[in-house]
Structures are given as structure tokens and as C-alpha cells.
Amino acid sequence: MDSVELTVLKNLIFNEEYARKVIPFIQPEYFSDECQKIIFEETVKFILNYNSQITTEALLIEISNRRDLNETQNNELSQIISYLDYQPSDQKWLLDTTEKWCRDRAIYLALMESIYIADGNDKKRTRDAIPSILSEALSVSFDNNIGHDYLQNYEERYEFYHKKEDKIEFDLEYFNKITKGGLPNKTLNVALAGTGVGKSLFMCHVAASVLLQGRNVLYITLEMAEERIAERIDANLFSVPIQQLTELPKSIFDSKVNSISNKTKGSLIIKEYPTASAHSGHFKALLNELALKKSFKPDIIFIDYLNICASSRYKGNSTVNSYSYIKAIAEELRGLAVEFNVPIVSATQTTRSGYGNSDVELTDTSESFGLPATADLMFALISTEELEQLGQIMVKQLKNRYNDPTIYKRFVIGIDRAKMRLYDCEQKAQDDIIDSGHEDEYEEKKSLKDKFNSFKF
């Protein structure tokens, strides 16, 4: 009676379409029988070397050329190969069956590996590696997408153009305008500001607003303690000055937390790491652990802040220059955003010359100009004595992949530092900014649709 393993081997040898689809996903260790594993290795090696299917005659010759097999193994391999006669099967059933087999074997092997680690037999890895191992096994699947065919896949492209993208909306009008409705997934978004201007305040405010939308939020801090970040979010959501939080009676504190809990279905997790000690690998392990232990998948991630993260590619004591080091961190975080399909929001410091500057530029980014090259959205938070007196902070777009950065290049938002809150200003405050930009400058006398309809193809 055929087993799944023998069915896989038969089709690898005789079914070229099947072989080219499944080879990238099958690992040799999935075969529990050593002889089947050898047949798989020789078959794949032949296909990759000669870009054609192997015959049973060629397979027997390749196996006979091996010097690591005894006579008993050679006889057993010959018997298995002689049994591999091909009968066509439904292609979809084959792929589904093979995918399930790969996933089952991956999970089994991951469980065995986890037990080995848990028993203390692995000298290189600790139990902290187990969630990542299991999560990787559970995610095994066949991805048959090998690229977008421009001419063949035009209908999918058209649907994509008209599909409403899932975005994380701001509760600040002008941020929604410049991002066309919020932050898309798989993006890195960076606030640039000097010390004390409001980088953490901005991120805490947006984190609180996203939580109230019923979304899951992960806030990673490398600068302040978890309790300090929670304190800022308390001030924001409770609408209580941060200095007065300690004066709240326990009953009132409880009622405010319960009130927020009743308003949202989302969760907010705050995780602290020591400064400059954690990199994207640690964050990935955290995400996998949260998924396994708490069934928590964030809709957005805040990292406070980028420059004090570590790089998974460079050691902290390496002699690499700051440009390459910070650029590597930015690329790793953006890769994390793509892998977990979320927007990441972080921040960076201005240079010494940029601190206190009322007209910050991209060149005022501290340590590495490679950061703005990687970010999808980058904006400066600017505070001056005049703005501080008005209770405002200026935002200047520096880079924007979502929209034209010259539209509302500068705008102001209100800031309540005591309650750790941001809010929309009156329109008059925006009108006073010379180059705020106006959408009507980009309006045409004739609509885009009318223009296309006037063309003759």
C-alpha cells in the first residue's frame, strides 16, 4: 500500500509540474525512512543540476555511485525504485496532500526538537527558542505565487487598484490627509525630533487612539520603563494630568480602566528591553511568543526608538560606521513590518544643528542618512518658544511614499503635555502657515474619468 512519502517520490520523478512546485518546500528530514530520504536527495540534486526530470535508470546509477551505502541499503533502494510506477492523480489533490504532509512532519520534528531543548540537551539554544521553532513549523505552507505577470494578471491588478486598503487611521485630521487615510501595513514610519520635543508623546498618543479603535497595539520601549509608558497612556486615556495620576483613588482608577475596556475590543502590550540590546530578531521572537501564549497579533507596532535598537547583522562592538549601522536597523525593522504585515512607527533624533531649528530638513537626521532612504513616511516634529506658548507643535513632511509631500508640507497640531495628548487645531492656525498646500491646487477643470473617456484606443 502506498504511503504519502512514496506518492511524493513517484511524482517527483515522473511529474515535472508537481516537482517544480513542491521542491522548494520539502526538506530531506521530512522523510522518516533513510532510503526514501536518499532517493529524494538524489532526485532533487539531479533536477537542480540538469534542469530536467530524472529517470529510474539514472537514479539507480547516481545511487550506485555513492560511497556511503552498504550492500543491504543498495538492495533496499533498488527494490523501492522498482516499485515506483507512475499513475496520474489529480494535481490539486497531490499538492494539498503534500502540503499537509509537510506541515505534519514539520510540526512533529519541531516538537521533538523542542523536547530536546527543554531537557537541556542543546548547548547552543535555551527554552526561549521553542516558541519560534513551533511557530515556524505551524506556518509551513506552499506559496505558489512566483511573480506578477503584467499581461496575464491585469484583472488582479485592476481589482487591487479598486480594493480598499486596510489602514490604521489617525485621530488627527492632517495626518490622515497626508497618508490618504492612515498607515498601510508593511511600512516603516519615522518621527524626527529633538530631545524633549515629543517623540514618545506622539507615539503614546497614537497608540492610545489605535487601542480605542478596537485594534491590538504592541509598544516596544528601549528608553523608558514599561510603567512610564503606561503612565503616559493613562494620562491620555483618562484625560488626567500625568502629575495627578498618583492622587487618583483606587476606585476611580479601576472605573476608568473598566470604562476603557468596555469601549474597545483591542489590547495594548508594552514590552521593555534594555537600551541598545534588542534587535529585530528579539522582536520577532516576542511576536511569536505573544501569538502562542496570548493569541495576540498586533495591528501596529511602536518602537521607542529606532536609534537605540541593536542590529541583528552587526555586533554592538563592531567597527561599522553609524551610517551602515542605523541603516541596517531601519532595514531590519521594515523587514519585520513586511513579515508580520503591520505598520511600524518609530522615531529618531535630530542632529545638534537640527535641535531647535524651526525648519528641520532630512539632512538633520542624526547618525545616518540611510534611515530616511529606508522609511516610507518621515516627518519632523518641531517646537519653538512661540509654538509652545500657543500649545502647538509643527509637523513638517520630509518624505512620503503615500502622497505628494508638497500637499500640506507643514501643518500644526495642538499639544497638551500634561495629559500627553495631541489634538486638531482650528483651521485658522493652518491658514497662517504659508506653504501648507491646498488640495484645490491639484484639482483639474476636467475630471480624470472624463479625460480617459475622451481618449480613443
What's the rounded Cα separation, in Å, for the pair 367 and 322?
6
pLDDT at 365: 66
CB contact set of 228 (below 8 Å; sequence gap of 6+): 221
**C-alpha span between 187 and 210 (Å, rounded):** 16
pLDDT of residue 435: 55
The reported pLDDT for the residue numbered 316 is 59
* pLDDT score, position 420: 95
Q: What is the DSSP string of 12-33?
A: HHH-HHHHHHHTTT--GGG-SS
Q: How many Cβ atoms sit within 10 Å of the Cβ of residue 390?
A: 14
Question: What secondary structure, in 3-state letters, does 64-79 show?
Answer: HCCCCCCHHHHHHHHH
Beta strands in 323-409 (DSSP E): 343-349, 377-382, 392-400
Residue 392: CB partners within 8 Å, gap ≥ 6?
412, 413, 414, 415, 425, 429
C-beta neighbour count of 4 within 10 angstroms: 15
Q: Are 305 and 278 in contact (CB under 8 A)?
A: no
Tell me the one-letter amino acid at 443.
E
Tell me how far CA of residue 320 lies from CA of 285, 314, 316, in angstroms. 25, 8, 9
- Strand ranges across the sheet with 268-272: 268-272, 217-221, 300-304, 343-349, 187-193, 377-382, 392-400, 410-416, 421-424
**Which residues pair with residue 423 across a beta bridge?**
414
Cα–Cα distance between 212 and 261 in angstroms, integer?
Answer: 9
Residue 190 · residue 346 · CB < 8 Å? yes
Distance CA 361, CA 41 (A): 56
Nearest residue to 134 (alpha-carbon basis) of 97, 109, 154, 116 = 109
One-letter amino acid of 287 = L
Q: pLDDT in tens for each of the 457 residues of the chain? A: 468 999 999 999 999 989 988 998 899 999 999 999 999 999 999 999 998 899 999 999 999 998 888 889 889 999 888 888 888 888 889 999 999 999 999 999 999 999 999 998 988 888 878 887 887 888 788 765 667 888 888 888 888 888 777 899 999 999 999 999 999 999 999 999 888 889 999 999 999 999 999 999 999 999 899 999 999 999 999 999 999 999 999 999 999 999 999 999 999 999 999 998 899 999 999 998 899 888 999 999 999 889 899 988 877 556 778 888 888 899 999 999 999 999 999 999 886 554 555 667 666 665 567 788 899 999 999 988 888 999 999 999 999 999 999 889 999 999 999 999 999 988 777 776 645 555 544 444 445 555 555 554 4
- At 58 the three-state DSSP class reads helix
**H helices, E strands: number in the chain:** 18, 11
Where do we find the cell 481618449?
A: 455
Backbone angles phi, psi at 145, to 5 degrees: -75, 115
In this predicted structure, what is the pLDDT of residue 148? 80
Phi, psi (deg, nearest 5) at residue 221? -120, 130
The pLDDT score that the predictor gives to residue 359 is 67
- Rounded to an integer, what distance in angstroms lies between the CA atom of residue 192 and that of residue 149? 39
> Domains in the chain, please, with CATH?
4-138 (1.10.860.10), 167-442 (3.40.50.300)
